[in-house]
Structures are given as C-alpha cells and as structure tokens.
Amino acid sequence: MTYLKKSPWVIHYDASSCNGCDIEVLAALTPLYDVERFGIVNTGNPKHADVFLVTGSVNEQNKEILRNTYEQIPEPKVVVAIGICATSGGVFRECYNVSGGIDKIIPVDVYVPGCAARPESIIDGVVAALGILEDKRRAMIEKPGGQINKAGDAV
Amino acid sequence: MLGAPAHCRYPPRGGGPVISGPYLSVINAILYILLAPAAGGLIAGIDRKVTARMQGRVGPPVLQPFYDVGKLFEKEDVVVTTTQNFYVLSYLVFMVVAGALFFSGGDMLLVIFAFTLSHIFLVLGAYSSFSPYSHVGAERELIQIIAYEPMIIFTAVGMYMVTKSFFVSSIVSSGIPIILYLPGVFIGYLMVLTIKLRKSPFDLSTSHHAHQEIVKGVTTDFSGPNLGKIEIAHWFEYVFLIGVVYLFFGWNPLLAIAAIIIAYFLEILIDNTIARVKWELTLRSAWLVAGTLGIVNLGVLYYLKAVVP
C-alpha cells in the first residue's frame, strides 16, 4: 500500500513568469477544479512538498533560488514545468538574461506547455507526475541509500 | 456491586463486578493509546470535508489525514539538526501521557502539566532549527500557551469546586450536571479549544493558509517522519480536548456526544468565517474571556457554596 500518490503536496515557484500560468495554477485550487479532492495541498514550504510546480523562463537572478528550493524538497520528488516559458523559454528564450527553460537548471519530469497553460492540462500534468513519483519511490526502496541522505547529513 | 464486603472501606469506583479500580484505568489508558489516533485522524478528516463543503468544494476523502501521515513516513528523513528528533518524540510521548492519564481517570492537574510540557517540547524543537520562520512560529506557539493556560487551569479548578475532586474518574462518576454550575467556564474552554485546534482566528503559530507570512510556522523545519509524528500527536490532542468537553456533560453521555458534535461544528464554522488576528488580540481576548467568564463563574460558585448551605 502506498500513500504517496494519494497525498501529493505541491509547492509553486514563479521563476519570472508573467503571472498568467501562476493564476492558472491557483485556479486549480479553487472550488471549480478543487484539486484537494485528490489530496493535493498547496504548501508554501519546500520541506513539506512532493511536487514542484515551476512557471516562467528562469533568469540569472533567480536560478540559484530555483536550485535551492529544489534541493530542499525531500526525496522522492518530481518537477513539473508549467507553461511554454518554463518548458523552453518560450518567446523569451533568446534574451541575454534568460536561461531558457527550467531543465537547464534542475531536472524536469513533466512538461505542460501552453500560454497560459489551462488548469485542466496542469492537473493532467500533475497526475502524470504522480506516476513518476511512484516509480521514484520504488527505485528508492530497491536501492536504499542511493539518493537518500541519512538523518543528520544536512547539519 | 452486590458482592462488596461490609469491611471494604472504599466504595468501588466504576466498572463491573470483575474489572474495577486500577485495572479499569489501565484498560482505559491502553484503549486510548490504541484508538485515539484512529479517532483523531477521522475527526481531522471529517473536519476537512466539512470545511470543503462550507467553501462550496467537494473536499478530500475522509481518510485523507491517514494518507497524508502514511505518505510522510514514506518520505526521506531530512533532519535539520538531530536534537529535533528528540524534541518531536518528546512532544508525541508527553501528549500520549497526558491523554492516557486523563482517560485512565487520573489527576487533572497532572494531565494539564504533561499537556503543557508536551507543547514546550514542540516549541523547543522549533527553536532548535535555524529558520527565522520556525522561530517566529515558536514565539507564537509560546504566546498561545500563555493565552490558553489560565483558562485550562480554571476549568480544572471549576470542576474541583463542583465535584470536590481533581480526579477525572471522580468527576465523571459524580453524576453532577457540571455544565449548569460552570457555563462561563465552558464558554471560556470553547475559546481555548479554538486556539488548541489551531483554528482561525487563532491559527498564529502554524497554518495551511499563512504561506506568505510564516511559511509553516513551528513545523517549517520538520519534514517527513518527524512531521508525521507531529500530526499523530495532534490526533491524540484532539481526542483529549474533546474528552474535556465530555466532562462538562459527564452525567448524560448522549447529551455529551451531542455537545461535542455541536462544539466541533461551531469551531469549523468559526474557522471558515473569521480571519486570522494578530498575537496581541489573541492574548488579550483569551485573557479577557478567562478573566471575566472564568473568574466570575468561579467567584459566583464560591459565593454560593460559602453562603448558601
């Protein structure tokens, strides 16, 4: 019996998005879509999160923050890039300050393109990510100590 | 009960003819330790469901809190500082001790002592990390303890004044309708319940709805299994707090259960209709209620006992 898929807590980071995708991410939490039906809770804390939702094309100013936030999420974790900017940099990809897609900074598991991505496709992307999350957990059990830091390592 | 010998100096307390006295209290304590997590988790699940319906949502399954805690124990055990482990375990253990003492019919004062101590361990755990958000949460948790503590003491003192005993077993078997003697104390206790259940307007120290302000307050630096233990301690706490509501109506179990359901529903309603307040107002209003409703109630009771024969 696994509980990971029944209780995915998400954290959302806006890596220089125009706020279009961010509004759609939050729309998924409203009564109309109500993702809490699936146990999804929007935590503001990377240490409590399982699913990392990132919007926007990363730039020089926030790529360190993005990496830091990612590293604080305990294993197993999945990253969902939401919107065409997070997927590839979108129309901003050739700007001098833009990294061009968050997969240049952190590993991405699911891409949800769109400008802005629709709430339905965001939910679809998160559900796809849950399958990957479950695979990662199984891999973690089969190879104990591989990815996991033992307690106290972070001190 | 018929077989009580004439030379028996103490009247038998509670239970049937075979199981009585100390054995019954041990059984009650064991039942509490085994069943309270299940009951507390269900209460938390129903709470989330009712909250969702009040907001026009479908809401998570009733068993969602169990899925959440199961998930937390599947996660990586990230520990910011190893002293955290000790403090979180102590928080859980003393919460269980407080509840077990209460349900075994123990001394209310000892129960309150263990209950407060467990929260002090949570505060110490939050202070042991280095996150400023964790520290803000710890400070607010301390303020909450200061805010609710007088009213909790008044509850125990009021029950002593009515039943002439601090022992839960004597209070519940006294057969006295305590609520009729302590209406002010009961209203004060309901206010304390709002703080203790971490409901708006008093969810200062940790809240699902205050990301921008305090991230997650006291629990910011706890993750995985440690956070799971904190959740389980909350379940034990819910059952204990509801047990105190039961004491007010102890002479009539059916009425007591109705009172518990209504009280909890009111807490959810307040949670969903009132915005979070600042710590100053929390402390002031909690002490104002304890100082007026609590003290006046106890004063009137004292006067009646002293003057009216």
The DSSP annotation for chain A comes to ---GGG--EEEEEESS--SHHHHHHHHTTSTTT-GGGGT-EE-S-GGG-SEEEEES--BTTTHHHHHHHHHHSPSS-EEEEESHHHHH-GGGTTSTTB-SSGGGTS--SEEE--TTPPHHHHHHHHHHHHHHHHHHHHHHHHSTTSSPPPTTTT-
Between positions 57 and 76 of B, the ones with CB within 8 A of A are 57-61, 64, 66-71, 74-76
Task: Give the best residue of A22, A47, A72, A148 to mutate against chain B (max B CB count within 10 A).
Answer: A47
pLDDT at B171: 87
Q: For A13-23, how does the pLDDT look when each residue is reduced to its tens digit (9 = 90+)? A: 998 888 888 99
Is the dihedral angle over the CA atoms A91, A95, A101, A102 positive or is it negative? Answer: negative
Distance CA B137, CA B143 (A): 10
Q: For A26-57, how does the pLDDT look when each residue is reduced to its tens digit (9 = 90+)? A: 888 888 888 888 888 888 889 899 999 999 88
Distance CA B91, CA B226 (A): 11
pLDDT at B19: 52
Task: Give the best residue of A48, A51, A133, A134 to mutate against chain B (max B CB count within 10 A).
Answer: A48
Distance CA B14, CA B1 (A): 10
Phi-psi region of A74 (alpha: psi -120 to 50; beta: other; left: phi over 0): beta
Res. A68: pLDDT tops 50: yes
Contact B57 A34 (CB under 8 A): yes
pLDDT at B173: 85
Task: Give the best residue of B54, B68, B72, B76 to mutate against chain A (max A CB count within 10 A).
Answer: B76
CA distance B120 to chain A (A): 23
Q: Tokens 């339905």 correspond to what residue?
A: A120
Beta partners for A51?
A10, A78
Q: Which domains does chain A have, with CATH numbers?
A: 4-142 (3.40.50.12280)
Percent of chain A with pLDDT over 90: 26
pLDDT at A89: 86
pLDDT at B301: 85
ipTM exceeding the 0.95 mark: no
Phi, then psi, of B224 in degrees rounded to 5: 55, -135
Q: Look up residue B252 and give its two tokens.
A: 């009539």
Instruction: Please indicate whether residue A101 or residue A150 has the higher confidence score (pLDDT).
Output: A101
Q: Look up residue B303 and give its two tokens.
A: 């006067």
Provide the pLDDT confidence category of residue A4 given band limits of 50, 70 and 90. confident
pLDDT tens track, chain B, 309 positions: 344 444 444 444 444 444 556 777 888 888 888 999 999 999 999 999 999 999 888 889 999 999 999 999 888 888 888 888 999 999 999 999 999 999 988 899 999 999 999 999 999 999 998 888 899 889 999 999 999 999 999 999 998 988 888 988 888 888 888 888 888 999 999 988 998 888 888 888 777 776 767 777 888 888 889 999 999 999 999 999 999 999 898 888 899 899 999 999 999 999 888 888 888 888 998 889 888 888 888 888 888 877 655
Q: Look up residue B177 and give its two tokens.
A: 């309708």
Q: What is the mean pLDDT of chain A?
A: 85
Is the dihedral angle over the CA atoms B170, B176, B182, B188 positive or is it negative? Answer: positive
Between positions 85 and 144 of B, the ones with CB within 8 A of A are 85
Q: Tokens 């919460």 correspond to what residue?
A: B95
Per-residue pLDDT averaged across A111-138, rounded?
A: 89
Contact A47 B223 (CB under 8 A): yes
Q: For B24-82, how does the pLDDT look when each residue is reduced to its tens digit (9 = 90+)? A: 788 888 888 899 999 999 999 999 999 999 988 888 999 999 999 999 988 888 888 88
- Helix (H), strand (E), coil (C) string for B241-305: HHHHHHHHCCCCHHHHHHHHHHHHHHHHHHHHHCCCCCHHHHHHHHHHHHHHHHHHHHHHHHHHH
Distance CA B19, CA B211 (A): 51
pLDDT at B308: 59
Q: Is the pTM of this model over 0.95?
A: no
Res. A150: pLDDT tops 70: no
Nearest C-alpha in B relative to A40: B60
pLDDT at B14: 46
CA distance B226 to chain A (A): 11
Any CB–CB contact under 8 A between A26 and chain B?
no
Count how many pairs of residues, chain A against chain B, have C-beta atoms within 8 Å. 98
* Neighbouring C-alpha atoms within 13 Å toward the C-beta of B253: 1
Contact A38 B76 (CB under 8 A): no
Distance CA A89, CA A84 (A): 7
Between positions 71 and 90 of A, the ones with CB within 8 A of B are 74-76
- Helix (H), strand (E), coil (C) string for A119-136: HHHHHHHHHHHHHHHHHH
CA A111: distance to chain centroid?
10
CB B282 within 8 A of CB B204: yes
Report the amino acid identity of residue A79. Answer: V
Chain A CB contacts of B137 under 8 Å are none
CA distance from start to end of chain B: 32
What does each C-alpha distance from A129 to A50, A149, B19, B214 come to in angstroms?
10, 23, 55, 28
Any CB–CB contact under 8 A between A44 and chain B?
yes
Contact A3 B82 (CB under 8 A): no
pLDDT at B210: 67
